[in-house]
Amino acid sequence: MTSLHVDDHGHVRILRLSRPERRNAIDQALADELSAAFEELEADRAVRVAVLTGDGGYFSAGTDLTSTAPPRTDGGPYGFLARVRRKPLIAAVEGFALGGGFECVLACDLVVASREARFGLPEVKRGLVANSGALFRAPARLPLTLATEMLLTGDPISAERAHHHGLVNELSEPGEALTAALALADRIVVNSPDAVQGSLHAISAEIAEREQRGWQLTHAADDENATSPDRAEGVRAFLEKRPPEWA
């Protein structure tokens, strides 16, 4: 059974995370579906813009902590976070985008969010480090002090605050994020596909060069964290729905 629903609206492709019973948390199967979907997206000349969203009234809770290993593919975490893309990707966020869900948002080119949406990086509350781009992308997209607050407290911020600091391009009324994202996509679709793709590829390639050091430092932090007893206790406490007892 597929966990990713794909629909085309003219030249716009909607990629909808659909594991509502797991709050759209991403496991290896969904990461593999996302990887394949992004390969198809780049190859299909009829598709000019993609919108990433989630089912069930929320975006994604990030990594499925019941997974035996972090969901990764050749496209990087979650199948696409390390890809250099030529076609614009818009996040349409309802509810919450937490942990890896927020890291998916940070990998998008544009962001539309409901006024009631929340963005957060709760990894430290689970004894983990954010290992899918947030350690360098959050400080690049937000003021350093705000990104540091999110990474060290694990507390979420509102869509209004994210919009004020430039992370969110447009705010929508609750339930209207996808509609607003499609309207934004339509503003891109009317332009030259070659010019749009060439412009985005130049932006993405330059960013990817800058991010290489960030990925190296993230992998080092994650490797160090892998042997911490806090990591095992944090995940166990989360699954058992109790406060962690740090060593």
Name the residues annotated as catalytic: 103, 123
| CA dist., res. 178 & res. 66, Å (int) | 29
| CA dist., res. 246 & res. 45, Å (int) | 52
- Of the candidates 211, 163, 215, 190, the residue with the CA atom closest to the CA atom of residue 88: 190
| CA dist., res. 44 & res. 82, Å (int) | 20
End-to-end CA distance of the chain: 40
| CA dist., res. 6 & res. 60, Å (int) | 16
- Of the candidates 15, 197, 166, 174, the residue with the CA atom closest to the CA atom of residue 90: 15
